[in-house]
């Protein structure tokens, strides 16, 4: 146990700004923008019209196939439009625009119900109907992960609380403030999968959380793995290896080695789904960065515009860069009108002086990118092939195995944007395969 993983980096954590501040509820904005596409798989199909009134938790988009989930109204109010709006992916995508009416009451169907009497199928159905997806950023539908194919039994469940991205503390606050909900969620997962080994994995930079968890976990038969803080400790493969010693094949999935990993927020959300029939309409979001006056964690309704979060926390200056997610794997935003999605763990706003300046230089062959790569790749070669569009060579050097953690770019003294080039190569290789 706690065997670490190859490579990795130690970026400044910047977590002290928000780690010990209790979360707050973000006030409702004047307008919520709820995209139909906020998960891996087919976008939901809209099932409301402009001019229609909806209750909190009402389905406004139906799931579109097995790898899809429904979308719900985050509060009660009036649907003012169903139209394309700016999406964090950079495109304009179809969204339901909702004007809150201030009532905010749950619809009648969302009353508390016990779960111990439910069948596995009924629990999976509730998780699907609640729109639960991976809240660590991947946004993969949870009911699909919990229903592995024949011949892929899962004996180990790991709750991923190894929040290794700098600045982000949303998972920490969720774990501390919603501990009982998380522990019940582990029980639900155990019941669904009949798993024998239950783990919560977190980094050793939060000893207070580990101490608080220790006895509660023991009582529930859950083991606690306190791992050395190192990025990307929270990446699925690295976490699985550190805790179980099992290696997920390069192009394989955790279920190939009998493991399921779920983010802390997801586990809390599936408890709400199974025990109360409540859909995923709110999540913890870290709002931080050098530009933010009062950094904190906000319990935020899905669809809240980033501009509203930043205005609530206050800005020191006009931000030079806004990132959704963490600084290592998050995505820079082109507009503050983009909404918080189910997979949005953080909104970070930076001033110009917070950003790394300077043009990339030539490779000095120092090998640091190779030393830090947790996937044993040769980032400098792959990035070079990508820049020259030599995709066959990039593929031969296993570009597709890259988990896009950004450790290589971070470590490079020449500031070569390695991960951006490798990401391009991965996309181009996949596009070429689809065409052929
Ligand atoms: S090549 Fe990919 S996996 Fe390796 S360090 Fe760079 S971004 Fe991470
Ligand atoms: S870290 Fe940068 S400079 Fe060093 S070998 Fe890799 S690409 Fe070249």
CATH of the domain at 270: 3.40.50.11540
The pLDDT > 70 percentage for the chain reads 98
Does the CB atom of residue 377 touch ligand 1 within 6 A?
Answer: yes
Q: Within a domain: residue 234?
A: yes
- Domain end marker among 276, 291, 306: 276
Strand partners, 315: 292
Ligand 2 touching residue 363 (CB < 6 A): yes
Q: What are phi and psi of 305, to 5 degrees?
A: -65, 145
> Is residue 246 domain-shared with residue 139, that is, in the same domain?
yes
Instruction: Give me 390's structure tokens.
Output: 């030599």
Domain boundary among 276, 295, 318: 276
Q: What is the pLDDT of residues 399-411, one digit of tens each?
A: 999 999 999 999 9
Mean local confidence (pLDDT), 116-145: 93
Mean pLDDT of 129-140: 92
402 shares its domain with 257 = no
What is the rounded end-to-end Cα distance, in angstroms, of the chain? 44
- Closest of 266, 273, 335 to residue 305, by C-alpha: 335
Q: Check whether residue 261 and residue 135 sit in a common domain.
A: yes
24-25: strand order across its sheet: 24-25, 296-301, 282-288, 346-350, 321-324, 331-332
> Does 91 reside within a domain?
no
Residue 248 contacts by C-beta under 8 Å, 6 or more apart in sequence? 236, 237, 240, 241, 254, 256, 257, 259
* Residue 137: φ, ψ to 5°: 135, -30
Mean pLDDT over 41-55 rounds to 96
Task: Determine whether the shortest distance from the Cβ of 367 to ligand 2 is under 6 A.
Answer: yes
**What angle (nearest 5°) sits at the alpha carbon of residue 331, between those of residues 229 and 69?**
95
Residue of the nearest CA to atom 8 in ligand 1?
405
Instruction: Tell me if 402 CB under 6 Å of ligand 1.
Output: yes
- Number of compact structural domains in the chain: 2
Q: Residue 7 Cα, ligand 1 centroid: separation in angstroms?
A: 10
Q: Reduce the DSSP state of residue 226 to 3 states and report it.
A: strand
Categorize the per-residue pLDDT at 80 as very low, low, confident or very high, splitting at 50, 70 and 90.
very high
Helix (H) or strand (E) holding 418: helix 418-435
Residue 250 pLDDT:
84
Residue from 9, 356, 360, 364 whose mutation best tests the ligand 2 pocket (most atoms within 8 A of CB): 364
In a domain, 96, yes or no: no
- Quote the CA–CA distance of 280 and 128 in Å, as a whole number: 10
In the reported structure, the alpha carbon of residue 373 is separated from the centroid of ligand 1 by a whole-number distance in angstroms of 5
Closest ligand 1 atom, CA of 379? 1
Give pLDDT, residue 109: 58
Going by C-alpha positions, the residue among 165, 178, 167 that lies closest to residue 265 is 178
Residue 186 domain-assigned (yes or no): yes
pLDDT average, residue stretch 100-117: 77
- In degrees and rounded to multiples of 5, residue 212 shows phi and psi of -65, -35
From the list 70, 64, 59, the residue with the least C-alpha distance to 131 is 70
pLDDT score, position 4? 75
Evaluate whether 169 touches 297 at the Cβ level (below 8 Å).
yes
Which of 356, 358, 361, 365 has the most ligand 2 atoms within 8 A of CB, as the residue to mutate?
Answer: 365
Q: What pLDDT, in 10s, does the model give residues 247-306?
A: 999 889 999 999 999 999 999 999 999 998 899 999 999 999 999 999 999 999 999 999
92: CA distance to ligand 1 center in Å?
29
Q: Give the list of residues 6+ apart from residue 367 with CB closer than 8 angstroms, or none.
A: none
The pLDDT value given to residue 433? 84
Mean pLDDT of all residues belonging to the chain: 94
DSSP H or E stretch at residue 241: helix 236-244
Question: Per-residue pLDDT averaged across 165-181, rounded?
Answer: 97
Q: Is 365 in the pocket of ligand 2 (CB under 6 A)?
A: yes
Q: Which of 7, 369, 379, 410 to mutate to test the pocket of ligand 2 (most atoms within 8 A of CB)?
A: 369
**Among all chains, which residue has been given the structure tokens 């044993």?**
376
Residue 345 lies in a domain: no
Q: Answer with the one of 237, 256, 276 that is the final residue of a domain.
A: 276
Note down the domain range covering 188: 121-276
pLDDT of residue 105: 86
Q: Are 376 and 245 contained in the same domain?
A: no
Distance CA 351, CA 84 (A): 30
pLDDT exceeds 90 at position 356 = no
Contact 174, 277 (CB under 8 A): no
Is position 4 within any domain? Answer: no
Interval between CA 360 and ligand 2 midpoint (Å): 11
Query: Within this chain, do residues 156 and 268 fall inside the same structural domain, yes or no?
Result: yes
| Mutate-to-test residue for ligand 2 from 9, 362, 363, highest number of ligand atoms within 8 A of CB | 363
> What is the rounded distance in angstroms from the CA atom of residue 369 to the CA atom of residue 378?
7
Q: Is residue 43 part of a domain?
A: no
Structure tokens at 402: 């890259």
Ligand 1 centre distance from Cα of residue 435 (Å): 26
Binding residues for [4Fe-4S] cluster: 363, 366, 369, 373, 402, 405, 408, 412
Q: Is 369 in the pocket of ligand 2 (CB under 6 A)?
A: yes
Residues 237 and 376 occupy one common structural domain: no
Whether 41 is in a domain gets the answer no
Residue 246 is encoded by which pair of tokens? 């099992």
266 and 374 part of one domain:
no
- Tell me which long-range contacts 297-300 makes (C-beta under 8 A, separation of at least 24): 297/18, 297/21, 297/23, 297/24, 297/169, 297/170, 297/173, 298/23, 298/24, 298/25, 298/26, 299/23, 299/24, 299/25, 299/26, 300/26, 300/340
CA atoms within 13 A on the CB side of 17: 21
């Amino acid at each position: 146990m706690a065997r670490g993983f190859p490579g990795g980096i130690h970026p400044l954590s910047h977590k002290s700004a928000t780690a010990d501040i209790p979360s707050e509820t973000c006030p409702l904005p004047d307008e919520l923008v709820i995209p139909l596409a906020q998960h891996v798989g087919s976008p939901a199909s809209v099932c409301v019209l402009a001019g229609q009134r909806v209750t909190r938790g009402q389905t406004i988009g139906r799931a579109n196939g097995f790898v899809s989930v429904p979308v719900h109204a985050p509060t009660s109010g009036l649907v003012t439009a169903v139209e394309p709006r700016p999406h964090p992916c950079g495109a304009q995508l179809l969204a339901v625009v909702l004007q809150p009416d201030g009532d905010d009451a749950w619809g009648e169907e969302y009353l508390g119900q016990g779960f111990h009497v439910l069948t596995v199928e009924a629990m999976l159905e509730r998780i699907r109907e609640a729109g639960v997806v991976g809240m660590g950023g991947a946004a993969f539908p949870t009911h699909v992960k919990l229903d592995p194919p024949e011949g892929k039994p899962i004996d180990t469940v790991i709750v991923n609380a190894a929040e290794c991205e700098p600045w982000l503390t949303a998972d920490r606050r969720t774990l501390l403030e919603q501990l009982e909900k998380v522990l019940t969620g582990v029980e639900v997962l155990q019941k669904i999968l009949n798993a024998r080994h239950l783990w919560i994995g977190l980094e050793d930079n939060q000893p207070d959380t580990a101490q608080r968890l220790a006895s509660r976990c023991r009582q529930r038969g859950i083991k606690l793995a306190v791992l050395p803080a190192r990025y990307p400790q929270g990446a699925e493969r690295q976490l699985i290896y550190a805790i179980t010693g099992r290696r997920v094949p390069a192009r394989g999935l955790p279920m190939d080695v009998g493991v399921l990993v779920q983010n802390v927020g997801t586990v809390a959300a599936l408890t709400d789904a199974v025990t109360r029939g409540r859909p995923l309409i709110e999540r913890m979001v870290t709002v931080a960065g050098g530009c933010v006056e009062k950094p904190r964690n906000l319990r935020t309704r899905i669809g809240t515009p980033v501009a509203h979060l930043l205005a609530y926390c206050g800005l020191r200056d006009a931000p030079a860069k806004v990132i959704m997610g963490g600084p290592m794997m998050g995505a820079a935003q082109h507009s503050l009108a983009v909404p918080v999605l189910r997979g949005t763990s953080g909104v970070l706003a930076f001033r110009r002086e917070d950003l790394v300046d300077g043009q990339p230089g030539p490779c000095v062959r120092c090998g640091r990118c190779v030393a830090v790569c947790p996937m044993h790749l040769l980032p400098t070669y792959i990035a070079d092939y990508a820049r020259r569009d030599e995709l066959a060579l990039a593929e031969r050097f296993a570009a597709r195995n890259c988990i896009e953690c950004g450790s290589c770019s971070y470590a490079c003294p020449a500031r070569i944007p390695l991960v951006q080039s490798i990401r391009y190569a991965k996309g181009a290789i996949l596009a070429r395969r689809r065409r052929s």
